[in-house]
A and B are shown apart, each in its own frame.
Chain A
């Protein structure tokens, strides 16, 4: 089968039971998508599929055929994406394990709705788990990046 990820086609052969998360990591070599629970709660594996943030651990790779998939590896175009810059500036990460999932979650939300309020951002971010930051600086980083993207 083919997976279309970050603008590139990957020809892979997978068992029907292989999840999208495993296929991205093992078959496409895109290990930036992390796996934290494999039951759809933690959101570490969040990727963007046809514009929507999805849990890659809850989707089979074969279900993603033909879809446009974006992972954390595709976020920076040379320099860091605005949201990545704001994560640096606001200390929005510590160990970095949950970070790719939060980035993709926030980017999908912001692309779908450019005028997210801070309360809406909090609602969106409550979909994923982080164990290091107490969420304080993730919320600040996403709010700041939303403001910056609105202004540009």
Chain B
């Protein structure tokens, strides 16, 4: 008999959300509303910040006792950066919060903010990494003369000799321009002081409520039980927002409830950015197109400050460690650096660095294939890792997988020969069609060892689940993880239902509230289902064992003859049975817990994009998109497909549309949705998704993480498709987004 795992059951989350009854932070009424006054310039000295009489304003002076946000890595020459919660004397990017004003309504707070007189003497700025690294560049943080916050390099002992043997060398440079995650729900926070207990309840959009709790109580000198954090949320909100600290401080000081809802302008200007990365790669290949060696050089523009807890090292270090991707590259030489600039702080955004490194590797392989006169699929076939476990030059261990087989599935679905025939015929009509592929593997569900290896002061990784089975037959799982739209309430219920022997509807998952859940780390790094799912399974199996004993005793049978399923314990082969609710009543309920801290597992996929490029308008239309993926055991295939759909859409947006643009003075130009272009239903094609299920040995549930994969693979597939389309014109484009303006520049002079 099959269980609940593997079924596309509909979500428990949906009913309330569809009725407009979902809980979102901005829905909460407050006694007072707060608005931030933000720097209008990218760099400068604050000469004065004056509010009109009668307006309550908070500045750095009021927060003198609050320490700055300063996450630390003790490796790779990392120079810790301090970010004052409100600017302290100087501003370092356009949009930096300088002061906060408080009104009785949001409108009044906005009026007050407009009345604040903020005088800043502008200072020289560095907007790009090149400018910040140039000799004589302005120093953005004291003590960091070259503006390089982190750098590392590695050359394997055999690199030089392997590189010297190359029959073919291919070099390319890619550029991923700056992006924003653009969650539909902007950041929001609501801090409510309770006079009876002296506690503050902070409801906020956050992916790591427990860590926010720990950070804010430490910064404000609060006892742990003086703050409760509730986090209903979606997206872009892994890192600690300075704004939240101000909210809690204000609620404590004013002994009231106070709310802040970021508007879209502030979200695009001063929430977190990502992906501002340039990579040069050089592949050394033998005559058969096999990698002998790979060289990489990575520069990430990480903005003015460091996100907590990941630090400003996250993008350059992840690029450095994971650049080789799913390929056996032989020897490796790589240098990476993170550069501070007068731009908004860069922080983890779905895919983190991997969209850029995948673009670099996949462009390199397509160019190498062209140089060697080989099909793009063939060069990948010859280089994809086939033997597992595989240890990479940077020490990552890839668990069992089927990279080549996954790629072949995608190719078969794409009917490449059929496409080539259509492409050929279209070219005769002056229509440029292209097919592009990209293969990648994604490190997911990794525990504390991986974060310790980075030398992080804060080492996330494990998850903890507290579980009870009560006399009503309902299992309650209190999870430290914090889902925010990916359906974890449903998928965990499926896992727990099978393990305990109840129906998923009788599993209650409690999350996102530090008063009611054990400490846990939250949502990031495609980890929730893997790690929280593993911890849930551990707890559920403990309860199952005790239920079996209880049932055996109750039904006067042997443990081995008891079948627990869908709310009943029955004796196999008989009609004797008892409800699990009764067993729990007899026993006085069951309670246990699960703790899980895995090493990690690598999911993988191949994406294929088919595009049409209009060389007159320079518009690119993605006509078909195929994903073949292997994320181990699928707990709920419907939810898996949903994650891939959303990820691919963001990837296509990264490839073609979305870009944060600063002018040379550090003024940000993309602060509305008329400038920062998110895709609509028209820009995203219907997708074909194919699954393999290589059951992961490395995880409790056999599942691998996949929340980010769509975003990782899609940009490279789209860029390769554009380059394939334009090959007859001898045009290449290695920058994303490949906007009409960039394509037009590339095409100029070719017609």
On A, residues with C-beta under 8 Å from B are: 15, 17-18, 22, 25-26, 30-39, 41-42, 44, 71-73, 75-76, 80, 84, 87-89, 91, 93-100, 103, 122-123, 125-139
How far is the CB of A57 from the nearest CB of chain B, in Å? 10
The reply to whether B184 and A130 contact each other, CB–CB distance below 8 Å, is yes
Q: Does B183 sit within 8 A of A, measured CB to CB? A: yes
Contact of B18 among A36, A93, A137 (CB under 8 A): A93
* Residue of A whose beta carbon sits closest to that of B186: A36
The reply to whether B264 and A36 contact each other, CB–CB distance below 8 Å, is yes
Residue pairs across A and B with Cβ atoms less than 8 A apart, 24 shown, are A18-B107, A31-B26, A32-B19, A32-B21, A35-B261, A36-B185, A36-B264, A38-B263, A39-B672, A42-B264, A73-B21, A88-B10, A88-B18, A91-B638, A94-B486, A100-B20, A125-B680, A129-B678, A131-B234, A131-B235, A133-B646, A134-B650, A134-B684, A136-B645
Contact of A129 among B13, B263, B673, B686 (CB under 8 A): B673
The reply to whether B26 and A35 contact each other, CB–CB distance below 8 Å, is yes
Q: Which among B263, B487, B639, B673 has the highest number of chain A CB atoms within 10 Å?
A: B673
A17-B107, A36-B184, A41-B672 given; A132·B681 CB < 8 A: no
* Residue of B whose beta carbon sits closest to that of A125: B681
Q: Does B158 sit within 8 A of A, measured CB to CB? A: no
List B647-676 residues whose CB lies under 8 Å from chain A: 647-650, 672-674
A91-B638, A131-B183, A132-B646 given; A31·B27 CB < 8 A: yes
Chain A contacts for B77, CB-based, 8 A: none
Contact of A80 among B18, B184, B641 (CB under 8 A): B18
Chain A contacts for B221, CB-based, 8 A: none
Q: Does B691 sit within 8 A of A, measured CB to CB? A: no
Chain A contacts for B183, CB-based, 8 A: 95, 97, 131
The reply to whether A134 and B646 contact each other, CB–CB distance below 8 Å, is yes
Q: Does B52 sit within 8 A of A, measured CB to CB? A: no
Q: What are the 5 tightest A-B residue pairs by CB atom distance, in nearest-first order? A: A32-B20, A96-B17, A95-B485, A134-B649, A134-B645
Q: Does B527 sit within 8 A of A, measured CB to CB? A: no
The reply to whether B15 and A88 contact each other, CB–CB distance below 8 Å, is yes
List B584-643 residues whose CB lies under 8 Å from chain A: 638-639, 641-642
The reply to whether B21 and A134 contact each other, CB–CB distance below 8 Å, is no
Chain B contacts for A42, CB-based, 8 A: 184, 264, 673, 678
Kindly state the separation between the CA atoms of A35 and B649 in the bound complex, as whole angstroms: 22
A31-B20, A134-B645 given; A95·B484 CB < 8 A: yes
Chain A contacts for B15, CB-based, 8 A: 80, 88
Q: Does B22 sit within 8 A of A, measured CB to CB? A: yes
13 additional A-B pairs beyond A132-B184, A134-B646, A136-B686, beta carbons within 8 Å, are A15-B107, A31-B24, A31-B26, A38-B264, A72-B18, A75-B20, A88-B10, A89-B10, A95-B484, A99-B17, A100-B20, A123-B682, A134-B687
List B1-55 residues whose CB lies under 8 Å from chain A: 10-11, 13-15, 17-22, 24, 26-27, 29
A131-B235, A132-B646, A134-B645 given; A76·B27 CB < 8 A: no
* Residue of B whose beta carbon sits closest to that of A44: B184
Kindly state the separation between the CA atoms of A142 and B358 in the bound complex, as whole angstroms: 35
Kindly state the separation between the CA atoms of A72 and B638 in the bound complex, as whole angstroms: 25
Kindly state the separation between the CA atoms of A131 and B486 in the bound complex, as whole angstroms: 12
Contact of A39 among B20, B235, B264, B642 (CB under 8 A): B264
The reply to whether B682 and A122 contact each other, CB–CB distance below 8 Å, is yes
Kindly state the separation between the CA atoms of A32 and B22 in the bound complex, as whole angstroms: 7
Kindly state the separation between the CA atoms of A140 and B182 in the bound complex, as whole angstroms: 24
Chain A contacts for B682, CB-based, 8 A: 122-123, 126
Kindly state the separation between the CA atoms of A73 and B20 in the bound complex, as whole angstroms: 6
* Residue of A whose beta carbon sits closest to that of B268: A37
